[in-house]
Chains A and B, each alone.
Chain A
Amino acid sequence: MLKSKYAVKQISVFLENRRGRLAEVAGALLEADINIRALFLADSSEFGILRMVVNNPEKAKAILVSKDFAANETDVFAVEVEDKPGGFYRVVKVLADEGIDVEYTYAYAGSSERAILFFKVKDEEFEKAVEALLNQGIKLIEAVEVYR
């Protein structure tokens, strides 16, 4: 199963638009010594969803739930691309050709000349997406590497 190897557990937190709420999430993670590797905040006028890739998703979820945050896990996969024009295009082109919808994606530029892209697709299309990308010689990062 490609999924068990490449599924990165992303933590999603439902947040009302209230002052200080983000700081409370971040504070809770700090307290538990959790490092955030990448994050993205999707928002509407009244609430937001904070999506994070962290070094220890299970612990992060447990700590957030214990503090009454509405936190959940979602499977995403991580793709490594060269940090130059066309890097992103190569990946989304493959997915488009396969007819796979990207629900959302975000990037993490990192420190080297390579960038990491996180992708969320429908759960039932996860395998197909990963397989298509690997077939096209695109580099996917194993979940264990992402948490490291």
Chain B
Amino acid sequence: MRLKGKDYIPKEELRKIQLERLKETVRRAYHLVPFYRKKFDEAGVKPEDIKSLEDLQKLPFTTKQDLRDNYPFGLFAVPMEQVVRIHSSSGTTGKPTVVGYTEHDLRVWTEVMVRTLLMADVNPKDIVHNAYGYGLFTGGLGFHYGAEAIGAAVVPASGGFTKRQLMLMKDFGATILCSTPSFALHLYEVAKEEGYDVKKDFKLRAGFFGAEPASEGLKKTVAESWGIQYVEVYGLSEIIGPGVAASCEHGSLHVFEDHFIPEVIDPETGEVLPDGEEGELVLTTITKQALPMIRYRTKDITVLHREPCRCGRTIVQMESIKGRADDMLIVNGVNVFPSQVEHVITKVEGVTPNYVIVVDKKGVLDKLEVWVEVDERLLTDGVGTLERLKKKLEEELLNNLFINAKVKLVEPKTLERSMGKAKRIIDKRELNL
């Protein structure tokens, strides 16, 4: 377990390694990528100005728009003959963002994926059912290479074909599941429908879930229904893919900060916030060659903590993503993240964790509706009971999120099931303008 040891490195030694790697990355970015040189010059900073880790704050931010503006390869710091892999986002909201890897970068990625998988001590005896999409999306291949490097048997199931996936999971005796949390829940629902005895028919012991934010409630539901250790995985293709951070046996998300330096900033002012304060996560890669990312704004909202974790890891902890700054809804001036709504829903008995948030305008005011599927197992046949359930959900939303939402109970299995990332928001306000 040589790699696992890297999570326990003494803080001082870690900071030394980080500074050395940061200096090198900034030097390379400045001299090899015209975009960075221009930005640094405009900000009046030179690579030599980086003398301590705190000096990172002097550097300008990089955004998704910068990647788009330099589509496809404008931010690459190596010639194409050194690039061995290219991934890309789906580009549903504009030009796709393109990322490249050198052989060295793939080794870094594999290393952080191995360290991710070691959070549940994945070993050569494990059978890893990988239901992340294979292809341009980084999820599938990221987990694939990590599990293979450990020597586990990988089943490259990719997305879709739920029933067949269940059959393979049972017949092959999968011990590890890798998927989005919403797909894990979907698999469970279909397993029950198909008459599987989930805890007897499957040998799963742990799952690695990421690529979309999940509330504490959804995590608990997934962990308990499958009876497995829930490992949360955080990552984004711009930085490397999955493997930026993963949660330990105590549920704390640890950032592999010997490769990626995290900061949390005020999204309005860009000012760096102290540990313990909530803001936007900014990441800097310090070991990547093909696409060095300097202070990349992730739009993800989180909090950093540096106090020691019970698991003994010394690397920094990050709270679960509360939401994307992009997904944040502003409803009558109140900030609402879908994950907060989800958290409330999963605490109330009688409904499933499947929901859709519908925002519309009623006159000048925003009107929020939350559609939730009733849980047929807990369905009572009293109208009064259901009215009370609806009222309870509305009260909980008001008490927890300070929003007046109208809850609509809908029939089971009528809300769209996600095969990949769940679509939770229907915002009709723009359409009415």
Residue numbers of A with Cβ under 8 A of B are: 10, 12, 14-16, 42-44, 46-49, 51, 65, 68-72, 74, 103-104, 120
Contacts and interface: CB of A to CB of B under 8 A. Distances in A.
A10 B382 CA distance: 13
Contacts of A15: 411
Nearest to B383: A42
A10 B409 CA distance: 22
B120 to A, nearest CB: 35
A12 B379 CA distance: 9
Interface in B368-396: 374, 376, 379-383, 386-387
B412 interface: yes
A105 to B, nearest CB: 13
Nearest to B412: A70
Given A14-B411, A15-B411, A68-B413, A44 B376 contact: no
* Majority secondary structure of chain A interface residues (helix, strand, loop or mixed): strand
Given A15-B411, A44-B386, A46-B409, A70 B374 contact: yes
A46 B390 CA distance: 11
Nearest to A21: B411
Contacts, number: 49
A43 B382 CA distance: 10
Contact of A51 (B381, B409, B410): B381
Nearest to A71: B376
B408 interface: yes
Contacts of B413: 68
Interface residues on B, range: 10 to 19
Contacts of A42: 383
Contact of A43 (B381, B383, B408, B411): B383
Nearest to B381: A12
10 contacts: A16-B410, A16-B411, A16-B414, A42-B383, A44-B386, A47-B409, A65-B376, A72-B376, A72-B381, A103-B382
Nearest to B410: A16
Interface string B399-433: 00000000011111110000000000000000000
A46 B370 CA distance: 13
A44 B382 contact: no
Nearest to A18: B411
Contacts of A12: 379, 381
A76 B386 CA distance: 19
Given A69-B411, A70-B412, 15 more contacts: A14-B376, A14-B386, A14-B409, A14-B411, A16-B409, A43-B383, A44-B383, A44-B387, A46-B408, A47-B409, A48-B383, A68-B411, A68-B414, A70-B411, A103-B382
